[in-house]
Structure 1
Amino acid sequence: MSLLGTVHESDGRTWFTEVELPHGRRGLKINIEVAEVLVDERSEWGLLQVFDTPFFGRLLAIDGIVQVTESDEFIYHELMVTLPGVQHGAPSSVLITGGGDGGALRQALRFGGLASVTQVEIDEAVSRVCRRYLPSVSSGAFEDPRTRLVWQDAYAFVAETDQRFDVIVLDLTDPVEGSPAERLFDADFLKLVAGRLTPDGIVMTQCGSLIFQPDEVRQQVERLSRVFPHVRLHQAVVPSYQLTSFGFVMASAAELDRLDRAEFEARLGGVTGESGYLDYDSYRASMTLPPYLRRQLLGPA
């Protein structure tokens, strides 16, 4: 039996039930049918599970929470990495904290002017498992000569490095109490991150499901707003994350202009390969919330 009984049999089929999310609303759980359990092992830092599923393809869960799936990881990673890179315009150096599956790394390497990307991941087992069972997510990014892999706690790395980055991506697991990711969401860490950006640098972080985790979304927007003068909430539907709109927060010391179509498409044109989700229309839509969610998450206009 796996963590908290997340894998179980019902009606002759196998199901994975996602655990309740940190800072999440109660009363609903997500069940995903499992065709095969490929990995069910505990690393030093958490329980790693990989399932082959009819709906999402292969899926990685850590401590009972879905992290990445083959079918829609491109949506998440294009919002997390491609979007802030296009907003910046010409990132030369990128830092990724977390992101052991390699999807964020793959997106960063699409920028033609990129000189180097540093990925800091505390759990080498995540990358080992994903390279073997979800190789399409990284697609060789770990072997790219521009990639620097650091197996270390991100808090310590950011506190100690003197390097500056054009884009910093906080590709973190949920802030489960007692987990290594928990303190990477707090204001002290965000202040350290701010000190590692170039003057027009941008930080991007995920902030949870807008529907399931509104408290986490509000909390993260507020924390970033105490550190950065310019903060903007983006959203996209990532089906594997509770089938609802998922939040991404962009922050910078520099003004975050809303790019017009010509400027956006010119900048996106400098990104190699074809984007599956991000274009000008989805960029504009990602900044739009219906009134009830805007009031709930961001307060009165």
Structure 2
Amino acid sequence: MSDPETMRDWSVERLHQDHGQALRVAQMHYDSETDHQRLLVFENPTFGRILTLDGVVQVTEADNFIYHEMLTHVPILAHGAAKRVLIVGGGDGGMAREVLKHDSIEQVTMVEIDAGVVDFSKKYLAAISDGAFDDLRLDLVINDGAVFMKQNADVYDVIIIDSTDPVGPGEVLFTDHFYGHAKARLAEGGILVTQNGVPFLQGDELTGTMRAFKTLFSDYSCYLASIPTYAGGPMAFGWGSDSNARHVDLTTLEARFKAAGISTDYYTPEVHRGAFALPPFVARLIP
């Protein structure tokens, strides 16, 4: 793979200073630059269609279910009575797809900074949104997530920060000010969950978010899931709430999951509970 001729057919991600990954490009479907970033959609024999932004893998057809199920069903079923959900990011529609599986959800607001991501996702990654953009409960807002969070006065039961890594347009979504504005948008008993990278390679990212959550919430932590194309070990999802929802018992989760009647490929109530069991190297990153 070190041969330059061979590497022409590979997409090489260099998100981390000392680690990278390469994915074979069997067919290029889309290659364009928007006002904010460069978007590629290509076909890989194992992972299906893959979206990269500035060379960094964002989503794949094959393994996106893990990420999307864990950032949606965990807070929604832990809450138990969520009606209104806010998604910041998520332009591919996968997060909305999973949230909208819950008939109990009455309204979903999705704030995406880049209209181009939504437009081409509908065309080139339609399997990921799976009709979510046509659901009447979805309100799509094209705006900077940080600006929306600061100016909007609505409140939500669950807020999901489906951000890119803290570089470029996604950087502002990892600041103390942003998290403070997000908490102000939570209804009583509300839950905020965030994408916080791979702790083994991005420990500072998790620590920074947890330090902010410590000042904002009475209960804060993270939970884990392993997603093949987010290389470097399990991914961390930040959790902040002033409720006791993180500690909901297995029997209650099982009853809520059964009542929801949803189909999943990764999430189960047992996985939900186990995801909060942190290995020491992750627990030490939480102040």
Q: TM-score, normalised by structure 2?
A: 0.95
Distance in 1 separating the partners of 2:5 and 2:253:
48
Structure 1 runs, 4 residues or longer, greater than 3 Å off: 8-13
Aligned 1:98-117 pairs, distance under 5 A: 98-117=89-108
CA shift in 2, pair 1:121/1:257, >3 Å: closer
- The answer to whether structure 1 residue 18 and structure 2 residue 13 are counterparts is yes
Aligned to 1:4: none
1:187 aligns with 2:176: yes
Aligned residue among 60, 67, 80 for 2:58: 67
**Residues of 2 paired with 1:294 and 1:227: CA distance?**
19
Q: How does 1:107-256 map to 2 (within 5 A)?
A: 107-176=98-167, 179-242=168-231, 244-256=233-245
Most deviating of 84-93 and 220-229: 220-229
Give deviations 1:179-229, integer Å, cap 9, x for gaps. 222111101111111111101010110100122211111111112222222
5+ residue gaps, structure 2: none
| C-alpha deviation, 1:270, in angstroms | 3.2
Name 2:30's counterpart in structure 1: 39
- Given that 2:201 and 2:232 are in contact with CA atoms closer than 8 Å, whether structure 1 keeps it comes out as no
2: CA distance, partners of 1:279 / 1:96: 22
C-alpha deviation, 1:10, in angstroms: 4.1
Q: 1:52 aligns to what?
A: 43
Among 68, 72, 75, the alignment partner of 1:84 is 75
Count of aligned residue pairs for this structure pair: 285
Change (3 A) 1:272 1:106: farther
Alignment CA distance shift 1:10-1:216 (3 Å)? farther
* Partner SS for 1:211: coil
Contact 1:35 1:51 in 2 (8 A): yes
Matched, 1:277 2:266: yes
3-state SS of the aligned residue for 2:15? coil
AA of the residue aligned to 2:10 = W
TM-score (norm 1): 0.90
Aligned pairs for 1:259-298 within 5 A: 259-295=248-284, 297-298=285-286
Calculate the aligned-residue CA RMSD, in Å: 1.6
Q: Distance in 2 between matches of 1:120 and 1:245?
A: 26
**Unaligned 5+ residue runs, structure 1?**
1-7
- Going from structure 1 to structure 2, the CA distance change for 1:243 and 1:54 (only over 3 Å counts) comes to farther
In structure 2, what is the Cα distance between the partners aligned to 1:151 and 1:82? 24
In 2, the alpha carbon distance for the partners of 1:275 and 1:298 equals 30
Q: Is the 8 A contact 1:96 1:104 kept in 2?
A: yes
**C-alpha distance in 2, partners of 1:192/1:234?**
22
Aligned AA (2:156): F
Classify the secondary structure of the residue corresponding to 1:104: helix
Q: Which amino acid aligns with 1:87?
A: A
Percent identity, aligned pairs only? 35
Any conservation in 1 of the 2:221–2:286 contact (CA below 8 Å)? Answer: no
Change (3 A) 1:155 1:106: same
Distance 2:36 2:150 in 1: 21
CA distance in 1, matches of 2:116, 2:278: 37
What residue in structure 2 maps to residue 5 of structure 1? none
Q: 1:260: Cα distance to partner?
A: 2.1
